Structure 1
């Protein structure tokens, strides 16, 4: 057990970060999960530029110093930012007592049954009071591709709704291409169902709009010439 540290005169317990494992340098994941994690994180930073939030993949979350960190595949926490001095031990991962609250959303991507996403991990996020816990099971290990749990009181309830009211975002299953890979993906979406775009998708749409505008201009110029009018006149 970590020796307690007290600040001020309020006997407020602050765990000593120097005695916690903030990284163990043993990442073990698969290509599909890694790409899915990048998609979920990158689209948030591309689409929510005016909001303050922290979204990461495979970063440890400590809710107590009495238990090892849990490492969500993806988490999302609003109204918090990584401190500037992020190399300091206490700033290297998400310690709930330093950020003042747990993340609003935790996502686990199922690749096998050993992760116990519907058992131990669910109970940990529930105890941590994460508002929404999402289990994405692309290969159907547990029989259902997408499960969404909402914290109601002290317990999680599985809900059929994929709109996360408390965070103003939803999730959806999407068929398409990301980083050159055509597949089925879990995406963030707005309430109208439109997905949050990545930076590359935004750039591609801008190029398409520019190309369409140029084509319209060329068509108009041809029509004017047939009428005996030079477009430059």
Structure 2
């Protein structure tokens, strides 16, 4: 199914989804995956880095056919679509391609075990749906014999003529206007290696907490500069005052000697 075929929802029959199971309520992700998913979604809404409107989500069903099981990417981005407002409606609680009128541009899978087939059947499914970019991140080194042939823990693919072609680092997603990078640091008090969005220069897109910390540090620097300026001003005032006192004492001594300081 090509993306062009999905563009106009009015031209395709809307499937009956009343019998579809869209939420299984099964907590199957590990802590690392859960945090990683959040790290891939929150910064996109905290920063103005994507063309609006857009929808970014994690662990949400991607339904592309009523007769096929949904794909459930660990994170995804879909540009030029609006998040449905009424979540009480079943068709608004998952990503139904026929409702949004298009497939997402980006899908990301975070490997947590050896059963996901991220580089096999799942990769083929994403290509068939028309996902422009597909990334596989293996932080727990579950599929090293497949993924780490060249020492990489991250593989990124671009859809070309209906097939995925691997792209090399730096992983810049041209048609989306954002990139992916590996980052070593601490997120939510957990140190480790994380997959993050980045700008064209490779700088990571900050989280809300990181932005707050940057703003706090900036405010502290501004406060320090203001205090330094105040100290310099006070020093200048004292210097000028000392100069004035010295001049006054000198004038008094000259007068005591019978010399008018104003004539000198």
- TM-score of the two chains, using structure 2 as the length reference: 0.80
Please give the alpha-carbon distance, in whole angstroms, between the structure 2 residues aligned to 1:148 and 1:48: 23
Q: How does 1:158-197 map to 2 (within 5 A)?
A: 158-161=166-169, 162-197=171-206
What RMSD over aligned residues (CA atoms) do the two structures have, in Å?
1.7
Distance in structure 1 (CA, Å) of the matches to 2:205 and 2:89: 33
| 1:224–1:11 CA distance, 2 compared to 1 (3 A) | closer
Match of 2:7 in 1: none
Task: Find the aligned partners of 2:56 and 2:85 in 1 and give their Cα distance.
Answer: 16
Cα distance in 2 for partners of 1:109, 1:40 equals 11
Name the structure 1 match of 2:110: 109
| 1:209 aligned residue | 218
Contact residue 18 and residue 90 of structure 1 kept, 8 A: no
Residue correspondence of structure 1 range 142-161 to structure 2 within 5 A:
142-143=143-144, 144=148, 145-161=153-169
Q: Tell me the equivalent position of 1:5.
A: none
Give the secondary-structure state (helix, strand or coil) at the position aligned to 1:29. Answer: coil
Which has more strand, going by share of residues? 1
1:36 aligned onto 2:36: yes
Q: Which sits farther off after the overlay, 156-165 or 41-50? A: 41-50
Q: Matches of 1:12 and 1:100 in 2, distance apart? A: 10
Moved more, 15-24 or 57-66: 15-24
* SS at 2:115 equivalent: helix
Q: Retained in 2: the 8 A contact 1:75–1:106?
A: yes
Name the structure 1 match of 2:138: 137
Where in structure 1 are there 5+ consecutive unaligned residues? 1-9
Q: Which whole-Å CA distance do the structure 2 matches of 1:113 and 1:28 have between them? A: 14
By how many angstroms is 1:54 displaced?
0.5
Matched residue of 2:87: which SS? Answer: coil
Q: CA deviation at 1:197?
A: 1.1
Q: In structure 1, how many angstroms separate the alpha carbons of the residues matched to 2:186 and 2:84?
A: 34
After TM superposition, the score normalised by the length of structure 1 is: 0.90
Q: Which residue of 1 aligns with 2:73?
A: 72
Instruction: Please name the residue that 1:97 is paired with.
Output: 98
Task: Report the structure number with the largest CA radius of gyration.
Answer: 2
Q: Deviations over 1:86-123 (max 9, x none)?
A: 22111110010110111100000011111110011101
Q: Partner residue of 1:123?
A: 124
Matched residues, number: 221
- Cα separation, 1, equivalents of 2:122 and 2:161: 18
Is 1:14 aligned with 2:14? yes
Distance in structure 2 (CA, Å) of the matches to 1:11 and 1:220: 67
CA deviation map 1:58-96 (0-9, x unaligned) = 100001111111111011101112211122111110010
Unaligned runs of 5+ in 2: 1-9, 240-264
